[in-house]
Structure 1
Amino acid sequence: MNPTESTLAIQLRRLKPVQLRLLAELSQVGALGVAAARIGVAQPAASRLLAEMEELLGLALHERQGRGLRLTEVGLSLARRAARIEIELADAARELAEAATGRAGVVRVGAVTGPALSLVMPVLIALQRELPEFRAEVTVATSLNLCEQLRDGRLDFALARLSPGETQLEARVLAVEPLSLVVRRGHPLLVRPILSLDDLMTYDWVMGDDETLLTQTVVSRLTELGLPQPKRRISTSSFLFTLALLNQTDAIAPLATPVVDSFAGNPSVPFVSLPIDMGLAVAPFSLVTRAGAQMTPPAQRLIEAILAV
């Protein structure tokens, strides 16, 4: 007979923190010995902890699979909750330490390239002028990578895009991201009196692989306009590598317009946008947080400053 909801609520309160940590690790590694080592206990002790959990709850949390084990659906559900508890406890410890020392903590923010340069950077510069003690660690990566770090508790929040079906994270849509086509100063296209779309197709384009959102957006738009796929002899998602390549070749790169605008008008910057509008824009990015997460005061301050912009 399965335990009732009220019985489970009582029994869950009797679980030990080390048991929850073990279950969270098991969901990640799928091997009892590895999970035990990660939480600093011997494998026999980990076996007892797991058995005690199942006896207490009256539910099977794992099943044997060859020489290893895998969590049941019940076990996976509890492991997800356990992982969230671990993250919240770590956040609480960080916030308490900050309150005890009277120092502002480090805000860990992630962003895809466009919002990182056009939004996060200027907001952080303004905050540091106002609050000299304000500190932040900024991670610039793909949305997939940022969301993984956010779920693991390595980031406080991120400016990114959620994958369909995401349940552990929640998002507040902020803005679409228009794209401009960027070339080096002195590029042959810049001296043409009239620039056509066909002219663009005679040059290499620098973008990421076919799986990246930017590349998919560009290819889709070119198809809509009846144009062939651009030549891509070199593919990269690195912003710095893209700029270096533009500087030494006649390649064209689609970049976030806010990023391009941030260095427009500066004659010392060797890049300019082409005077042509293809109607390029990637899907909106969002302010992404863990579902139900409580932000530390410094993180909340940064979020409010970003939303104000």
Structure 2
Amino acid sequence: MGVFVLRAWAMTTLGVVVLGLVLTLELLDEEAFSPARYAVILLAVVLGVAFVRSRERLGLQGATSDLMLVDLRDRLVAHGRIPDLPEGWGVDSVVRSAYAEAFSGDFVVASHAPGSPLLEIVLVDVSGKGQEAGVRSLLLSGAFGGLLGAMPRDAFLPAANRYLLAQRWPEGFATAIHLAVRLDTGQFWVSTAGHPPAVHLHAGSGVIETVETPGGPALGVVVAPVFAVHEGVIQPGDTLMLYTDGLVESPGHDVELGIDRLMGEAERVVATRSGGADAVVAGVRAGEGDDRALILVHRT
């Protein structure tokens, strides 16, 4: 109980009291303790104090600290919530962390101002994975969410790059893909920063192809990078797919083969309307060792 409700000084006091009581019982011949029992009690006290001290150094106090971690995770998810879209458009997304950890290095940020025809979506893959990248993901998602929609679409990636450089993190890079879509005409613009290319599924011709964008470097690496823009149109029935490298990369295998496998699974699922983003991720069967994210932007 002390581990969950006490601060470090109180937990230390409790540990001393427990050890003092054990010693007193032994000296008064009230209870005989074997060496194994002594070892177990001492280990429990040491581990309990160490655990509480580590949480206190992080600014986490008692059982309510777990609620704060849950709140942080929920905020990260909320930043990626897709706004309500007009009839004829749909967005399906899924983000899965490595080994089902609470935090993921992949995150989504979206913006669609009421009355505006422009929808913007950014998919980011922070260096590292799982909890290792969770703190950086939370910070960047808040910052990128503030930038997105607050400036011209072609200024977003340069601004995100400047922000990341200013953090001076030892592993401060991230890859990103930025998509802007006019919901009235279907015209779209996509730019990448060290990120795998988007995929366009054409309903009319049945063709599925990668959106070849001369990608710029990852964010946080170069002071003044240039991010090329690919322009196209999402026709009725078309789908655009954004994803992170956790779905297409595997040790000892070519990334291009992974992209081909993802495209084949997307074509099977999306063309037949037998499922959405979850079904595509499940069909790819990527390993659990990396964070994975997928977004499907569909025009009906």
Higher relative contact order (CA 8 A, sep 6+): 1
Q: TM-score, normalised by structure 1?
A: 0.23
More helix by share: 1
Provide TM-score, normalisation by structure 2: 0.23
